[in-house]
Structure 1
């Protein structure tokens, strides 16, 4: 139990770092795909939200808290297909933090009973919900690094 608490603390810190991008960059900058990149700042934010829902919830055979449309826009192997609007940005901003609270509540209420063991596209073996939480933090850290690089070209 203490291990999951530590994982969630890292996750909260990570997500708060992501939130700062909304303060630092304009909508135009969030949507800009710099030369040499496949995506933009806002896509990375949407992607980590979608990936968390897939890793934790779909991996546990539970319903996700995001729309199918959002999932389709930001799932793995996608890239921006248009400009993200202020309304969509506001939704992503809310989801960044609210999904942590929902996930913690669901965890402590015993919703995560089973986990579908799997190998990630990057070669990590996920055997349990704790593995999924830990990998999620790793994955979000990778995308934060991509965002730091993108930010240098905006």
Structure 2
């Protein structure tokens, strides 16, 4: 699991650079022909990780219900994310890595409810969910690389 966490930490660092280098207006811009924006992708990977790792382990997620609703799978951005919400997302981006790592090392995760993703991946264990999370975050990072070309 050491490599899985290391990859995840690196991925989250790449997401952090978007938050550090793009204005609120740029984070909210939905380029023509695209269905989302930079900030939605970042919020979405936070929400997805919480669902994949915590909810599927029968544990409470460490995000608000409103954040979950706004960024869950199938949601769409409205282009009006506030700076306050961006700051919350920025904080969660790194905090959830630390929290998950501590929880994993202290044995908080005791069960896992298998899950079939919409893309056809079967996740039967927490380890598989965490590895899939890295794959999922990579997909969204690629989408963000495309979006930034239009900003």
- Same fold per superposition (TM over 0.5): yes
Q: For 2:101 and 2:19, locate their aligned partners in 1 and report how far apart those are by CA, in whole Å.
A: 24
Q: What TM-score do the two structures reach when normalised by structure 2? A: 0.98
Deviation at 1:81, TM superposition (A): 2.6
**Secondary structure at the counterpart of residue 33 of structure 2:** coil
Deviation at 1:109, TM superposition (A): 1.1
Q: 1:108 aligns with which of 94, 105, 108?
A: 105
Q: Which residue of structure 1 lines up, in the alignment, with residue 118 of structure 2?
A: 121
Q: What TM-score do the two structures reach when normalised by structure 1? A: 0.96
Q: For 1:27 and 1:82, locate their aligned partners in 2 and report how far apart those are by CA, in whole Å.
A: 10
Q: Which residue of structure 1 lines up, in the alignment, with residue 71 of structure 2?
A: 74
Q: For 1:121 and 1:5, locate their aligned partners in 2 and report how far apart those are by CA, in whole Å.
A: 27
- In the alignment, structure 1 segments of 5+ residues that lack a partner are none
User: Is the Cα contact below 8 Å between 2:116 and 2:122 reproduced in 1?
Assistant: yes
Q: Which residue of structure 2 lines up, in the alignment, with residue 35 of structure 1?
A: 32
**Secondary structure at the counterpart of residue 66 of structure 1:** coil
Please give the root-mean-square deviation of Cα atoms over the aligned residues, in Å: 0.7
Q: 2:81 aligns with which of 79, 84, 103?
A: 84
- Paired residue total: 151
